[in-house]
Structure formats: structure tokens, C-alpha cells
Chains A and B, each alone.
Chain A
Amino acid sequence: MIIAIIIGMAAVTMIPRVVPAFIVDKLQFRDWINRWLNAIPFAALGALVFPGILGVIPGKPLIGLIGGAVAIVLAYVGLNVILVVAGAIVTVFLLTM
């Protein structure tokens, strides 16, 4: 039964991922659509971060916000992504002590 669930989950995840591979070969997009698609990564990053980050520690949205703020500062001063991640983890760890 669990195997059937896994296969079903795999199918509905794979289809939306793979269909665009075939679509883009068939279509030429107008300039504004290309610009739209090129802006998608930045919009996706925004939508993935907020409001999800508020739920990092359930019931304590402020901790997620502060962790995110630390990440913004560390990234802004030009630190490598790995250090940004480490800094945010340490911040949340200290705040939950």
C-alpha cells in the first residue's frame, strides 16, 4: 500500500517537472514572456522564504524572523552561502536554548 502511495506521489511530482522540457522545444516565447520566466527564480525565492520562515519554531514566529534577518545581514556583507546557513542555524539554536 505504501509502495502504491510512493509511486503515485512520484508520478504527480515528475509530470509537472518534465512537461516543460518538451514545451520549450516546441515554442518560441515573446520577449516579455522570457522576462517573466527569468524573474521566476527571484519570485520563487521570495515565496519560498516568507511566510514559511515564521514556522521554523512552531508558535514562535519571531525566532524564524530573527534567524532570517541574521541570514540577510550575513549574505549582505558578502559571506558564502554555507556561512550564511551556519550563522542562521546558530542564531536559532541560541534563541531556543
Chain B
Amino acid sequence: MDTELAEKQNTSPTIHMIRKGVAVGFPIMLGYLPIAITYGVLAKQSGMSLTELTLMSVMVFAGASQFMGANMIAVGAGAMEIIIATFVLNFRHFVMSLSFMNRLRNIGLNWKIPLSLGLTDETFAVSSLHTKEANMEKGAYFYASLILTAYLSWIGGSFLGGVLGEIIPAQLSQSMGIALYAMFIGLLIPSVRKQWRVGVVAVIAMLINTVCSQFMSDGWAIVFGTVLGGWSGVFLLKEDAS
């Protein structure tokens, strides 16, 4: 079907997949830009140079941990302390990557490595809701362009935030804080409508996360919520939900 469509549009499957990836990644860009700008502003205030704060976005590419890192640098925390806290906060990506890579079994390791490195909460969520492409011709280009769209907007936004400084009104940037949460909700609800049990899995994960966050760090609480919540899916989701 993919090739048919591509022929109709008179484009190669590669270009078709790239276009599709950029289109599907576009909402992530909208969600990332305000947050990346806010990160840039905050990182600048915490004493990082424009090069350093942009480099962090290039090399780490993980929003929450970059906010935390900038904060910890500002208060003069030690390097080891910051790195360990980052590991704990980002360990959830291991679980997500395992799920994502399991979907990409038909794609070669030469693609899987760069795609796994571009995995964030957002690129994972969006990619996981588009599983068909994994088995299509040139499907790797779909995920690669989706991730690159997100990656470049994250880097660009961070740089912009570092340059602009405090130009955006505080009330607006604060309101933007809801953006990624709303995006996650917007991604989840269509699957819940298709199969209500998906919503049960999500709510179980929420409850486990809430309970766990009472006595452990947020990073581990999210890992437990995701792993145990996902486990409930073994019983709740009989067939392939996506």
C-alpha cells in the first residue's frame, strides 16, 4: 500500500517516509519549542554559557534532566551528584527503548543505534503509536525524520532561549508548562477510545507512580509506574492494541 501511494504521488518511498515522519513529528516540535526556550533562559541564568547550554541539548537531549542539571549547576552541586541524578531520572528510557526496539526488529542495527539514541518520552510516545511503519519499506526513514524534527527543534529552541533571555512573559512560559502533559494526553486518548482497557493500564501506571513517588525519587517512581503498569497490560490487553 505504501509503494502504491508513493507511486501515485510520484515520489520514492524514502521521500514519502521522510515527509510522513516530519508531519507526525510536528506536534512534538510545537511542544518542545516553548519548553526548550524556557530551558535556555533558565540555563543561562544558572551561569552556563550559550555554547554549554546548547551543547547539553545536543549531547543529552532529555528535557527534564537538563532542567535539573541546570538547576543543580546553579546551586553548585557536585558533578558526580548531578550525573547520578541524571541517570536515575533518565533510566525510564531503558524501558521505553526496550519496547521501541522490540517493534523495530525488522530494521537493521545500523538504524536501531541512532534511533535509540534519539529516544525521549515524546519521540517514544509518538513512535509507539505509529507501529505500522516499522514493517514498511524504508520505514527507518519515518522514525529518523520524526526524531530529527524533535531533536533539531529541541536544540534550536534551547539556543534561542539562551540568546533571548527573559523576553517571554513569565505567565505565558508558565502556562506553556502544560504543553507536554497535554500532548501526552492527546496521544493517549485516541488509543483509549479504540480500546478502553488501554486507559486502565494508564491509570494503573498513574496510581503506582503516585504511590511510589511518596517514598522514592521521581525518576524511579516513573520507572516503577511504567514497568508495573505495563505488566497489567499482559492481562488486560489481549491483542495488539496499536
Contacts and interface: CB of A to CB of B under 8 A. Distances in A.
B60 A6 contact: yes
Interface residues of A, number: 72
Which DSSP category, helix, strand, loop or mixed, fits chain B's interface?
helix
User: For chain A, what secondary structure do more than half of its interface residues adopt (helix, strand, loop), or is it mixed?
Assistant: helix
Interface of B: 26-27, 30-31, 48-49, 52, 55-56, 59-62, 65-66, 69, 73, 79-80, 82-84, 86-87, 90-105, 109, 112-113, 115-117, 119, 121, 124-125, 128-129, 171-172, 174-179, 181-191, 193, 198, 201-206, 208-210, 213, 218, 221-222, 225-234, 236-237, 240-242
Interface in A53-82: 53, 56-57, 64, 67-68, 71-72, 74-76, 78-82
Given A16-B97, A93-B172, A41 B128 contact: yes
B65 A88 contact: no
Residue among A14, A22, A57, A68 having the largest count of chain B Cβ atoms under 10 Å: A14
26 contacts: A5-B83, A8-B80, A8-B86, A9-B56, A9-B66, A13-B90, A16-B87, A16-B93, A20-B97, A20-B100, A21-B113, A24-B104, A38-B233, A40-B128, A42-B205, A46-B188, A46-B204, A47-B229, A49-B184, A50-B209, A52-B218, A64-B178, A76-B193, A80-B186, A88-B178, A92-B177
